[in-house]
Structures are given as structure tokens and as C-alpha cells.
């Protein structure tokens, strides 16, 4: 009997391991602390535990990820809820299937000791931005809280040089700065910044970073497994923040600096602990906001924008 058992065991060992699903995930930008749960899930083997072999790719152009997914050239991408609404209205076949960062990171940033101490002080001043459309809508809603309109300010495209433009005095405020990065960047460059948080200034709250997929190509079981691994990554970060930081920062030399170390701490409480969960009201409210701002010509149902893969059994 022992020989039979041994032979059976050897036969099992001789069988090839089950093939893992190969998945491509395009990030929104180069790897940074915003992607913590993804990288931790990769390094801890959580994706492998779910039968997934995930290729995490940083894009050459941050505008490309949703387009690559829409075209069927990647399985999933990290994108932004505000942009998703516009892209769906433009006809891109995309849906949100998960949440990475569950709060806005965007803020209206000013110099702490500058001339703008409250929103009313923006009258007659310059506001720097990088991406037209949503950011202008955000500014419009923020100004409205102080009885101002877009005619009361001058919008200046500073490309991606938000903090440098503010420090140099080219603008009096910026929109599009991430509160978990640019405030520290300003401090490291010898200036102190201050954020007006968009969700405290009349803007409906939203998911900053989301997972998007092309619904025509979506394998919901695979998506659930992907998000389950990301959830384990987010939980590990909360439960073991120091170990998670060491794991994350060891993946690339340029991550081990003061800016990224502080960004890690500032981003940690903002990751979704239930990435597959969908807050339908959040998407409905932001869709209405964009319609009121004149950026979309109709209000789409949430089902056109987002999918609850956890419920799609």
C-alpha cells in the first residue's frame, strides 16, 4: 500500500502545474505609491494565489491606458472616475469594475502664506491647470461657493508643472495637484503649500483611481479574482504598513526617497478596502454634476458607467 501511495504522490507531482490566466494591467502613470495594493499583491503572490499572472505596465503616455483597453489591446487599466464619464460619453467601450483610491486626491493648491487664504481671494487671479474639461468644471463649482464665476479668474495651462508654476508665482493657485504628492513636493523645494479639498468645496466626492475594462471582453470571474488579490494587498498595507512599504520600495531604487515615503503614508488611508464594491450613488451624482457643468449632454444610468463584478455571479 505504501508503494501505491508513493506512486500516486509521484504521479501528482509529475503533472504540470495548472496554467495561470495571463492578464495585462496598464497603470495610469509610472509606478508610485498610488499603486501600492497592486504592487504588494504582486510581490506577496496574491495574484498567483488567484490563478493570475499579471503583467503590470507603466504607459508611455498617461492618456493611453483607457484607449488600449477599449481597443482590446490590454485587459484592464487604471484610470480616473471623472475621465471615465467623459470617455463613455465619447463612445469608448469602458466600464469601471473596481476602485483603487476611493477618495479624491485632486485639490486646489495655493501657497500657504500667499494671497489666497480663502476661495473668495481667487477673484482676479490666475489658476494653473493641466487637463481641460473636468478640472475647469471643478474650479467652476469651487468658485460658486464664494459667489464667483469662471469670468472672475484666468485659467493658465501649465502642462504638468503645477507645483513649479505655483512656487515661481506664474499662477496663484493650481487645480489637478494631488494632495498626497504636490504638497510634499512643494515643501521639499522650500515652499509650503495648502490644499482646498475639492470634496469640501461643493464638488460631489468620487473615486480618484479605478480599474476599467472593456465589457465586451470582460471575464467577470477573472475580474473578481484580480480584485480579490488587490483587496488582500490593501488589507496587508493597513495591517502591516512598515513591512508593506519595505516590500514596495524595494521594487525600484527611485521609490526610496522622501517624496515617495511621505506619499505612501498620505495615500495609505485612501485605498479602497473593498475594491470590487460599487457605490452607485457616487457615480450617479458625479454624472449629474458633469451634466450641470455642460460637459456631457445627457445623464447616463450608472449601469452604462460601472459594473459591480462582485454581484455579477
Q: What is the mean pLDDT of residues 205-226?
A: 97
The residues pairing with 128 across neighbouring beta strands, listed in sequence order, are 156, 174
- Going by the DSSP 8-state scheme, the letter that residue 57 receives in this structure is E
Determine, yes or no, domain membership for 309. Answer: no
Note whether 98 and 114 are same-domain residues. Answer: no
Helices (H) and strands (E) in the chain, counts: 12, 10
Determine, yes or no, domain membership for 3. Answer: no
Note whether 114 and 97 are same-domain residues. Answer: no
Query: Is residue 286 very low, low, confident or very high in pLDDT (cuts 50, 70, 90)?
Result: very high
E-assigned strand segments in 102-237: 106-111, 126-129, 154-157, 173-178, 193-197, 209-213
CATH code of residue 133: 3.40.190.10
Note whether 213 and 300 are same-domain residues. Answer: yes
Q: What is the mean pLDDT of residues 60-86?
A: 96
* Grid cell at residue 84: 471615465
Determine, yes or no, domain membership for 14. Answer: no
Does the pLDDT at position 18 exceed 70? no
Q: What is the mean pLDDT of residues 120-127?
A: 98
Determine, yes or no, domain membership for 297. Answer: yes
Does the pLDDT at position 125 exceed 80? yes
Determine, yes or no, domain membership for 5. Answer: no
Of the listed ranges 1-10, 91-100, 133-142, 154-163, the least confidently predicted one is 1-10
- pLDDT given for residue 99 in this prediction: 98
Note whether 299 and 211 are same-domain residues. Answer: yes
Q: What is the mean pLDDT of residues 23-34?
A: 97
Query: What is the rounded distance in angstroms from the CA atom of residue 94 to the CA atom of residue 74?
Result: 12
- pLDDT given for residue 1 in this prediction: 45
Does the pLDDT at position 7 exceed 80? no
Of 161, 177, 37, nearest to 105 by C-alpha is: 177
Q: Among 176, 200, 224, which residue terminates a domain?
A: 200
- pLDDT given for residue 259 in this prediction: 96
Note whether 97 and 217 are same-domain residues. Answer: yes
Query: What is the rounded distance in angstroms from the CA atom of residue 111 to the CA atom of residue 194?
Result: 6
- Give percent of the chain with pLDDT exceeding 90: 90
Note whether 74 and 112 are same-domain residues. Answer: no
Determine, yes or no, domain membership for 294. Answer: yes
Q: What is the mean pLDDT of residues 178-190?
A: 95
Domain total of the chain: 2
Q: Among 200, 220, 245, which residue terminates a domain?
A: 200
Q: Among 200, 224, 251, which residue terminates a domain?
A: 200
Does the pLDDT at position 12 exceed 90? no
Note whether 151 and 292 are same-domain residues. Answer: no
8 vs 71 pLDDT, higher one:
71
Of the listed ranges 50-54, 157-161, 233-237, the least confidently predicted one is 157-161
- pLDDT given for residue 220 in this prediction: 96
Does the pLDDT at position 11 exceed 90? no
Query: Is residue 15 very low, low, confident or very high in pLDDT (cuts 50, 70, 90)?
Result: very low
Q: What is the mean pLDDT of residues 147-156?
A: 98
Determine, yes or no, domain membership for 310. Answer: no
Q: What is the mean pLDDT of residues 105-118?
A: 97
Nearest 10 degrees: Cα torsion 193, 163, 152, 90: -120
Determine, yes or no, domain membership for 311. Answer: no
Does the pLDDT at position 202 exceed 70? yes
Q: What is the mean pLDDT of the chain?
A: 93
- pLDDT given for residue 9 in this prediction: 42
**Is 11 in a helix, a strand, or coil?**
helix
Note whether 275 and 142 are same-domain residues. Answer: no
Domain boundaries, position 170: 106-200
Note whether 66 and 155 are same-domain residues. Answer: no
Query: Is residue 44 very low, low, confident or very high in pLDDT (cuts 50, 70, 90)?
Result: very high
Note whether 149 and 116 are same-domain residues. Answer: yes
Q: What is the mean pLDDT of residues 3-25?
A: 59
Amino acid at each position: 500500500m505504501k508503494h501505491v501511495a508513493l506512486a500516486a504522490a509521484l504521479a501528482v507531482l509529475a503533472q504540470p502545474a495548472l496554467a495561470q490566466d495571463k492578464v495585462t494591467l496598464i497603470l495610469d502613470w509610472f509606478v508610485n505609491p498610488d499603486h501600492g495594493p497592486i504592487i504588494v499583491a504582486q510581490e506577496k503572490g496574491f495574484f498567483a494565489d488567484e490563478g493570475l499572472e499579471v503583467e503590470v505596465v507603466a504607459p508611455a503616455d498617461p492618456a493611453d491606458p483607457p484607449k488600449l483597453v477599449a481597443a482590446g489591446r490590454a485587459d484592464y487599466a487604471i484610470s480616473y472616475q471623472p475621465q471615465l464619464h467623459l470617455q463613455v460619453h465619447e463612445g469608448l467601450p469602458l466600464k469601471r469594475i473596481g476602485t483603487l483610491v476611493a477618495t479624491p486626491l485632486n485639490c486646489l493648491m495655493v501657497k500657504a502664506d500667499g494671497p489666497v487664504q480663502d476661495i473668495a481671494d481667487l477673484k482676479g487671479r490666475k489658476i494653473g491647470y493641466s487637463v481641460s474639461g473636468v478640472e475647469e468644471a471643478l474650479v467652476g463649482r469651487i468658485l460658486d461657493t464664494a459667489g464667483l464665476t469662471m469670468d472672475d479668474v484666468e485659467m493658465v495651462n501649465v502642462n504638468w508643472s503645477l507645483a513649479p508654476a505655483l512656487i515661481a508665482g506664474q499662477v496663484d493657485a493650481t487645480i489637478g495637484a494631488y494632495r498626497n504628492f504636490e504638497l510634499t513636493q512643494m515643501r521639499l523645494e522650500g515652499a509650503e503649500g495648502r490644499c482646498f479639498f475639492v470634496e469640501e468645496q461643493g464638488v460631489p466626492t468620487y473615486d480618484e483611481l479605478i480599474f476599467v475594462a472593456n465589457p465586451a471582453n470582460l471575464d467577470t470571474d477573472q475580474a473578481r479574482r484580480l480584485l480579490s488579490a488587490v483587496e488582500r494587498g490593501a488589507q496587508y498595507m493597513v495591517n502591516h504598513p512598515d513591512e508593506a512599504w519595505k516590500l514596495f520600495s524595494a521594487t525600484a531604487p527611485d521609490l526610496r526617497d522622501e517624496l515617495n515615503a511621505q506619499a505612501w503614508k498620505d495615500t495609505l488611508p485612501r485605498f479602497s478596502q473593498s475594491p470590487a464594491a460599487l457605490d452607485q450613488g457616487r457615480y450617479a451624482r458625479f454624472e449629474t454634476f458633469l451634466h450641470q457643468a455642460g460637459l456631457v449632454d445627457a445623464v447616463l444610468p450608472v449601469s452604462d458607467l460601472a459594473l459591480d463584478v462582485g454581484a455579477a455571479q
